[in-house]
Structure 1
Amino acid sequence: MTVLTAPANRPRTEPGLEALFAPNAVAIIGASDDTRKYGNWIAVQALKGNRPVHLVNRSRATVLGRPTVPSVTAIGNQVDLAVIAVPAAAFEEAVDDALAAGARAIVGISAGLGEAGEDGLRVQARITAKVRAAGARLLGPNCLGVLDHTSGLTLTSNEFPVGNIGVISQSGNLALELATLLVDHGLGVSRFASLGNQADLEAADLIDAYIDHEGTAAIAVYCEDFRDGRRFARAAQRATEAGKPIVLLTVGATDASVRNAKSHTGAMVSSGIVVDAACRAAGIEQVSSPAQMAHLLQALVRSRVPRGSRTAVFADGGGQASVASDSAAAQGLDVIEFPPALQTAVAAELPSTAAVSNPVDVAGGGEQDIMCFPRVLDHLTSSPAVDATLMSGYFGGYGAYGQELAEREVDAARTMAALTAAHDGTVIVQTMNWTSAAANCLREGGVPVYRGIDEAAWVLGRLARRGSAPATGVPDQPVAAKAVSDTGYYASRRLLMAAGISFVAAHEVTDREELLARAAAMAFPLVLKALGDEHKSDRGGVILGIPDIPALLVAWDDVQHRLAPPSCSIEEMADLTQSVELLVGVRRDPRFGPIVLVGLGGVFAEVIRDVRCALAPVSTGQAKELLLSLRGSALLTGARGRIPVNLDAAADVVAGLSQLASAHPEIVEIECNPVAVAPGWAVALDARIVLG
């Protein structure tokens, strides 16, 4: 890896975090000669820079051949940043010393605090309060350090390659792995901050600090605990709007990953479906591995988001052309047949044996004239029929046949990159010669190059989806309404009806006389529900299609004998012959706040598990898009000759429920299951509210 030496003139950094990323001087508390300790590793890296570094050690006069001081206060000069690498028992005293000396930022390497249990969490909270009271900031504790290549700051245990990717990570090893993968793509790191326990500085703070950082083009985040998830999402949205895309790797897909996160950082991990919703709202690109993160980052900093999914496949081998076409189609890209004029233009540049309808196979044209590659690419990137080009094959290897061809191939690569930029095109290249001079020339010119066709096609698919599904925005929360306390079935119905959600006519009854009196004014068939049981349908507490009074009395006696409910609800039965049953609900995530969920509903909702979610509240238009994104959305729009249901009415229910739940922070769960949606109406058939 390449290491950057600090420039003589350091750029200013963001207000509030100058002391963290561009301090005037650094004190390392716990500096050590012991090569097994962080105090040694970080001191070694720090001394490579050109700013003053003070080594603090109470028991040794020298460390690494340099004189030490017993405390930060003994230095006698202002020191902006203190790095603390001492045992947990000595951490608070070290913080007190640094604050007394006027430190404005502290990096806590020490472990064994908030992640170690309740006692450690109390100590960590007390220390954090001291830091904030002093107007300082704390990174960590239990972190790997901080680095800023643009200011020449290296306070990490390991070196990082120089580049334009800002890295924020709750795992030191994952950050190091990502760094090695970035090198494979000719990329590196501009800034790195290790989150640790996020006692003070959170991921959102660091994203904000990276947005205006000139040296950062994109931001990679590995996070296990988002703390204030809405704040994180809003910071990510600001980064996206500033042209600095966020690529996120997180955990929570399995119970094992959640257990591990809790054990090593004490993290509270949000469910995957909630994080997905936050990513869609903020424009975050979520990945599942460091390798995917590196692949996508290369495309985001070098390429452009295509106008659409119409893709030209351009190869110098028939087999690779076919495989690339299948890979592109598997990613949802449309490998269109070229219009005749484009086929004619491409054919004029290639041998008569070339395939030109899409995919394009140069059929040996590269050996005859290497400049056929830029000429063909010129036609593809300038054509209004093509949104993106996926190039695959041998390019970059022709130079092995002779020096003259090697030079020509580099010229071809340089011309291809220039044409791509001139046409504002999207070109992704895969070549078996991905480390060649020509491949590096493409990268330097802004064209991403990959080793495998699967990763190249995957990246292009992600870019296309990014263009077709822009961020929906992180919604603001409404002013809190008067808290509700009664969450009984009928209290819930009244609250929901006040929010504009329709229900069938119904009455609560507690005895036979009241049952008969209410039923006399209702239209049969009726439904009888035993109240007081969230899963009443599973226990036979919901009896449908009651045709008349005698049958109603039989149903009443049966329910009373089996379940003895405190009360029952009798309801007119909606005509469901042309309806679809939906599940509509809102859950309040501890980190991200209210999350609205929609899905195919009824008694099999938990079996079908066709659910989509979004940060609440949502508008009617956003609710409609959620409904249309369901796998079973064809049931709503008229599959197999069915009459389409009233999507607007269904979307009004979703939006109304999301607004209601967002205005009531005391509600942790609210659900209407099912909501029957027919061609003319949408009616909630059940309701449940849980307070927290």
Structure 2
Amino acid sequence: YANFTFVPMKPGNISIVAQGGGMGEMLKLHLHNVGLGHRMYCSYGNECDLSMPEILDYYGQDEGTHVIMMQTESFKDPAAFLEVASKITPKIPILAIKAGRTREGSVAVSSHTGTLVDQARMASAMYQKAGVVEFHDTDEMIKAAIAFSTQEPPRGRHIGIITNTGGPGIQAVDVAVGDGLELATWSEAGKAKLEESLYAEASLGNPVDVVATANADHYHAAVETLLAEEDTDMVLVFFVTAPFTDTEAIARRIKEATDASDKPVVVVVETYSEFYGLIDKLRESNLPVYEFAEDGARALAAMARYAELRDREVEAPPEIEVNRAGAEEILAGYEGRDTYLPQADAFAILTAYGIPVPKVRLVSGDDDLDAVAADVGFPCVLKVDSAEVIHKSDEGGVVLGIKDGGALAEAYNDLTERFAGKGVTFIVQEQKPAGREVIIGATEAEGLGHLVMFGLGGVFVEVMRDVAFALAPLSRPEARTLMRGIKGFPILEGVRGEPGADLEAIEDLLLRVSRMVADNPSITELDLNPILVTPDGAYAVDVRLKVR
């Protein structure tokens, strides 16, 4: 078709698929500007004929494609994308960026889970499932593609850094560690070789500072030594083109040192126009070259992310013993009503799926309180139960710590008066011991089934927004990854001598919730918040469940 491409054609091993033509041209242009070409390029627009998954599938079968860069605004067939991308990523890395990350214009939903889900997080969950490396910055994706096109992915996350000036080395450390890499350590033999080969003034830690006057042999020895170290998975080399050194010899010797290793190496050159020919020579020898140490570190971190996604443990979702028929019977009574279930029925569905909950009893009237209390016990909790009262705590519809029958009667009278005329009912619930509060939720994702959400619970889910998402149903490795995907995970492990939360119990809850929503597509929203997690168990003490 007619297009407005203006980028000179140059062969390469990076294939590009972009929904927007302008974005595709930009990706090609910036590859060309660093001396790289492309293998294939397609802008698919509205997919009125060929679909994006079909294009990806074609790329994935092409032996000349070593890297795929993709830009998308929306997913017309998410399931097809997942199927195709999952087949490609074990052998070819897919680097992806999604435009339209805000959710303005989408239909707001009232539960926490629905409020926090947006198209960007849905895309992130798909990328994670398919093993795609996601980027939020186009420049960062392009610079990662430069490394992917010439280097093999690392076997681990340990980076070695070489520099001839201190500051950029420190910057590289900060970015590398911030992006999940770890600093490699040297063996005694490695330290001895560095000490023998470098100037006395050199720093032999990590980064290795060969000092500004280092010559080509010094760089060769440093690169060769680090690549030979068992703990080193990748190397970043930084050098300032000092006028008193033979920079071309340094570049040549760096390349020679990398030839005997399949570990990825990136080079960062701080220079000016007089030495741009040197950069071209490095690139022509298939070494990725960057202007800033941070760019090189991020590119290596992206390669490590891909390697982990490619090599991760893959399991099918486990078979879980549940009472599916019991849950379906309850849900059938609400079919087509587009409503939140009463608490008693929602808790019954959780119980059917083996999700631990407190004792819960529906209160039919004040003359029923004694019998309910005798069954539930003290201390207990009194809650309003209504599809119209979504956030019960915010509206004063929860009374905690009720210690006896008199206090229960008083609380019941207070809530009855407060919600008079609103057609509400009430439940009495066993009060469980305090614990770490987490949230597990689920929401519909068109074309994908359901997204499962995990994060810190209680009111903190709204304030901190520290949540992660994954596609249901979950495997055990996926449940663990989801759980560890929040920044607050160390709190669950235990800090400052406090006992940690029961992580196995959380994992089991994630598996059961994901199975429940996968089994029952009529569930449109689910919110278990909070879940109280102690060192030896977990209980969902509040539930909000909506069906279509």
Tell me the TM-score normalized by structure 2.
Answer: 0.86
**Residue number in structure 1 paired with 2:430:** 572
Alpha-carbon distance change, 321 to 637 in structure 1, aligned in 2, over 3 angstroms: closer
Equivalent of residue 430 in structure 1, options 268, 277, 288: 268
Corresponding residue of 1:230:
79
Deviation at 1:160, TM superposition (A): 4.3
Q: CA deviation at 1:689?
A: 1.5
Q: Which residue of 2 aligns with 1:459?
A: 299
Change (3 A) 1:430 1:256: farther
CA distance in 2 between counterparts of 1:326 and 1:680 reads: 37
Structure 2 distance, partners of 1:448, 1:391, is 11
Alpha carbons 1:497, 1:503 under 8 Å: kept: yes
> Which of 381, 384, 397 is 2:227 aligned to?
381
Counterpart in the other structure of 2:145: 297
The reply on whether 1:182 has 2:31 as its aligned counterpart is yes
CA 1:306–1:215 in 2, change beyond 3 Å: closer, same or farther? Answer: closer
- Return the match for 1:500 from 332, 354, 369: 354
Per-residue displacement from partner, 1:144-167 (whole Å, max 9, x unpaired)?
59xxxxxxxxxx686544322111
CA-CA distance at 1:674 after TM superposition: 1.4
Q: How far apart in 2 are the matches of 1:180 and 1:636?
A: 46
1:586 CA displacement: 1.0
Correspondence list, 1:589-608, <5 A: 589-608=445-464
Q: Offset of 1:655 from its aligned partner?
A: 0.8
The answer to whether 1:221 aligns with 2:67 is no
Q: Which residue of 2 aligns with 1:359?
A: 207
CA deviation after TM superposition for structure 1 residue 508, in Å: 0.8
Structure whose CA Rg is larger? 1
Equivalent of 2:92 in 220, 244, 261: 244
Residue type of the alignment partner of 1:465 = R
2:409 maps to what in 1?
A: 553
**Corresponding residue for residue 338 of structure 1:** 186
Alignment RMSD, CA only? Answer: 3.0
Q: 1:490 aligns with which of 339, 344, 369?
A: 344
Contact map agreement 2:362 2:428 (CA 8 A) in 1:
yes
Query: Contact 2:165/2:239 (CA < 8 Å) preserved in 1?
Result: yes
- Equivalent residues of 1:475, 1:616 under 8 A apart: no
1:148 is matched with none
**TM-score, length-normalised on structure 1?**
0.69
- Relative distance call for 1:160 and 1:176 in structure 2 (3 A) is farther
- Alignment partners' CA distance in 2, 1:161 and 1:186: 9
Determine the structure 1 residue equivalent to 2:547. 691
User: Deviation per CA, 1:29-58, whole angstroms, max 9, x where unpaired?
Assistant: xxxxxxxxxxxxx3xxxxxxxxxxxxxxxx
Greater Cα shift, 163-172 or 603-612: 603-612
Q: CA deviation at 1:271?
A: 1.9
CA distances 1:502-560 after superposition (whole Å, capped 9, x unpaired): 11111112211223322233311111111112222211111111111111111111111
* CA distance, structure 2, for counterparts of residue 520 and residue 224 of structure 1: 57
Name the aligned partner's letter for residue 645 of structure 1. A
Aligned counterparts of 2:172 and 2:404: Cα–Cα separation in 1: 66
Task: Using the TM superposition, give the Cα deviation of residue 330 of structure 1 relative to its aligned residue in structure 2, in angstroms.
Answer: 4.1
The reply to whether residue 307 of structure 1 matches residue 307 of structure 2 is no
For residues 559-613 of structure 1, the C-alpha deviation after alignment (integer angstroms, 9 at most, x for no partner) is: 111113432111111122xx11211111111243311111111244212322111
Equivalents in 2 of 1:308, 1:651: separation in Å? 26
1:665-676 aligned within 5 A: 665-676=521-532
Work out the CA distance in 1 between the residues paired with 2:445 and 2:227: 45
Q: What does residue 493 of structure 2 align with?
A: 637
**Equivalent AA in structure 2 for residue 342 of structure 1:** G
- The change in CA–CA distance for 1:433 and 1:225 in structure 2 (over 3 A counts) is same
CA contact (8 A) 2:161 2:207 kept: yes
**Greater relative CO (CA pairs within 8 A, separation 6+):** 2
Distance 2:375 2:404 in 1: 12
Amino acid of the structure 1 residue aligned with 2:287: V
Letter in 2 for 1:489: Q
Q: 1:216 to 1:465 in 2, by over 3 A?
A: closer
1:653 to 499, 503, 509: 509
* Equivalent in the alignment of 2:114: none
Give the unaligned 5+ runs of structure 2. 108-116, 335-340
Q: 1:183 to 1:485 in 2, by over 3 A?
A: farther
Q: CA deviation at 1:407?
A: 6.7
* Corresponding residue number in structure 1 for 2:126: 278
- Among 207, 214, 217, which residue is 1:371 paired with? 217
**Residue 636 of structure 1: CA displacement?**
2.0
Q: Within the alignment, does 1:517 sit opposite 2:371 as a pair? A: yes
